[in-house]
Amino acid sequence: MEHKFFVDKIRRFFSSTQPIAAVGIGVHSIGFDKDYKNPKLNELLGMFSGVMEFVIQFFEYCFVKPSVRICQRKFSSRVWHQIVKGVDEVLNTAVISNDFAKSGSNSLRIEDGADSTTDNNKPIVGRDFANGAAETGSVSTSVYIPSDGYVKASYIFLGSNNDASSSGRFTEVVFTSSMIKFRDETGSQVDLASYSKDTWVDVTIKWVNDDVTVNIDGTDYSGLKAENAGSFPTAIALYTGDNGSKGTYTYFDNLDSDLF
């Protein structure tokens, strides 16, 4: 807390700032309100501003929130923190964790700690595709469902929005209590394969128009048709739990796609 107070005190002295993101450190700006007529003085103040910004971000990185520090190889704070929904960091959380990892030492842990008695809904972390809607594409990630963390299902969502809204859903892969399911053209969840908790499961979703193949741990499940409720996907979203229960938490790792 002393470290956090120190950073906040510096920021209040120099400028107003944006809040720290739910996942990783957000983009901040340091500046001065006064516009001095002397260009040399303006230049010196600008240089000092940049140095202070570096010092503050370095201090935050090392001391303030190391538990949510981004592993740049897997996730990017400058992408993820802009499209986090339903995450308040009190009940619903999305953090970089070292509890489990498919590779390296970190993974993304998403927990649904809110239910129908609170103001929060399920936590969602999304990422947009770089070039918008994709008629063809592929995304992959690894999923770890802990026995103690299963209350309700966890989801890999593809759609025309990054907040997992069903109105824009292209399709999704669903981890229920013991079965991995696929959202088909009727909007129903159909069984793909059983899985075991407390182990990593590798998932790749490929599509060409509405034709989808889901690969689970090296096995292809083809001949699938996407629901395609809102045209072709522009984003992926990962989420856990639902609006009426709490206690579900899941780990995701190695999110990858040529579309990012």
Average pLDDT score over residue span 119-125? 83
DSSP labels, 138-152: EEEEEEE--GGG-SS
Tell whether the model's pLDDT for residue 124 goes beyond 80: yes
pLDDT at position 189 is 97
**More confidently predicted of 161 and 2:** 161
**Residue 10 exposed, middle or buried by CB count within 10 Å (0-12, 13-18, 19+):** middle
E strand residue ranges, 33-168? 84-85, 93-97, 107-112, 124-128, 136-144, 154-159
Alpha-carbon gap, residue 240 to 236, rounded angstroms: 14
Q: Give every strand in the sheet of 169-175, ordered side by side.
A: 84-85, 124-128, 235-240, 154-159, 169-175, 179-183, 189-194
| 77-256 under CATH 3.10.20.30, yes or no | no
Alpha-carbon gap, residue 160 to 53, rounded angstroms: 36
Token duo for residue 234: 């522009």
Domain ranges in the chain are: 2-68, 77-256
pLDDT at position 208 is 97
- Give pTM, 2 decimals: 0.71
pLDDT in tens, 146-188: 999 999 999 999 999 999 999 999 999 999 999 999 999 999 9
Per-residue confidence band for 200, with pLDDT thresholds at 50, 70 and 90: very high
Locus of tokens 């983009």: 27
Give the residue from 102, 115, 177 showing the smallest Cα distance to 147. 177
- CB atoms closer than 10 angstroms to residue 92: 26
pLDDT in tens, 44-103: 666 666 666 555 555 444 444 433 333 333 443 333 434 677 887 788 899 999 999 999
